[in-house]
Amino acid sequence: METLAISTLLEAIYDRTGLDFREYASASLTRRIRMRMEAEQVGGVAALQERALRDPDCLERLLESFSITTTAMFRDPGFFREFRARVAPLLRTYPFRRIWQVGCSTGEEVFSMAILLQEEGLQERTRIYATDFNKAVLEKAKAGIFPLAKMKAYTENYLKAGGRGAFSDYYTARYGAARFDPALVRNVLFARHNLATDASFNDFHAILCRNVMIYFNRELQDRVHRLLHESLIRLGVLGLGDKESLALTPHESCYEPLNSHQKLFRRMR
């Protein structure tokens, strides 16, 4: 598929909506565009662009396909286990703490963190800022209602992550859905923030940005790393996805790994 046609499409989207996908990783984006072409039954990228600019619903579907919102509660349980063991004690040393969960998607990761903080006695004086550029997922995140069918897997994750209570105490089951206790997120602020275009808005004691930057190209990754670095206090902690790394980013030397296995790094400079 023609690279040129794709960059023209991305320019047009930026122009029309202000949403900037021009520096997203191309292999994934190409795949999504090809899938949209098939679903919309158009013969090429240019035809897809033409339809999207003419038909707002088509544009909406295309934009939605660019936002991959896959997530789970306590995804990579080892990460949360280490967060509990190594980061919670650090957080305890501050009288008040702020955590930023970047690209929080439909909220599963936020509720996981909220449960962990509550069990560690850290909930009271911790504010979580949970952001995403996708308005629809933020609405779902606020509601905290997840499919009941997933609770078995999430309970296993929770236990592997070092959970101390009974996972089922955190939700009520009704009509095939698990509704999580709204009190868990009373200190959470859900807000829109676009990593590609928005600036730093606070400084944080810990930032989680997991499986978001894998969708960005190198240049955008580097820029986002600068943004995250700016937004962390000295000795603050950065958490990345399981297969992400700081190696080869301009900020590698600013951090030290908190442990060798999980993706937790401490800002030293």
Ligand X SMILES: C[S@@+](CC[C@H](N)C(=O)[O-])C[C@H]1O[C@@H](n2cnc3c(N)ncnc32)[C@H](O)[C@@H]1O
List residues binding ligand X (CB under 6 A). Answer: 67-71, 75, 103-105, 109, 132-134, 137, 194-196, 210-212, 215, 241
| Partner that binds at residue 247, options ligand X, other proteins, none, CB closer than 5 to 8 Å by kind | other proteins
What is the Cα–Cα distance from 69 to 55, expressed in whole angstroms?
A: 24
What is the Cα–Cα distance from 81 to 70, expressed in whole angstroms?
A: 21
| Contact flag: residue 196 with other proteins (CB under 8 A) | no
Please give the single-letter amino acid code of residue 193: H
8 Å CB contact between 202 and 209: no
- DSSP state string for 106-133: TSHHHHHHHHHHHHTT-STTEEEEEEES
| Contact flag: residue 63 with other proteins (CB under 8 A) | no
What is the Cα–Cα distance from 141 to 104, expressed in whole angstroms?
A: 8
What is the Cα–Cα distance from 210 to 102, expressed in whole angstroms?
A: 8
| Contact flag: residue 26 with other proteins (CB under 8 A) | yes
Please give the single-letter amino acid code of residue 3: T
- Least distance to other proteins, CB of residue 92, Å: 27
- Would the CA dihedral through 187, 192, 195, 200 be positive or negative? negative
Question: How many residues of this chain bind other proteins (CB under 8 A)?
Answer: 26
| Partner that binds at residue 144, options other proteins, ligand X, none, CB closer than 5 to 8 Å by kind | none
| Contact flag: residue 215 with other proteins (CB under 8 A) | yes
| Contact flag: residue 78 with other proteins (CB under 8 A) | yes
Q: Measuring CA to CA, which residue among 228, 247, 211, 71 is closest to residue 153? A: 71
- Least distance to ligand X, CB of residue 44, Å: 26
Shorter beta-carbon distance to ligand X: residue 210 or 267: 210
What is the Cα–Cα distance from 6 to 56, expressed in whole angstroms?
A: 19
Hey, which residues does 267 pair with through a beta bridge? 255
- Least distance to other proteins, CB of residue 147, Å: 15
Span interacting with other proteins, options 26-34, 88-96, 183-191, 194-202, rule CB under 8 A: 26-34
Q: Measuring CA to CA, which residue among 126, 142, 130 is closest to residue 87? A: 126
| Contact flag: residue 199 with other proteins (CB under 8 A) | no
- Least distance to other proteins, CB of residue 27, Å: 4
8 Å CB contact between 193 and 131: yes
Q: Report the site for other proteins in 241-260 (rule: CB under 8 A).
A: 241-245, 247-248
| Contact flag: residue 28 with other proteins (CB under 8 A) | yes
| Partner that binds at residue 27, options other proteins, ligand X, none, CB closer than 5 to 8 Å by kind | other proteins
Residues that bind other proteins (CB under 8 A): 1, 25-28, 30-32, 68, 70, 76-78, 211, 213-215, 218, 221, 241-245, 247-248
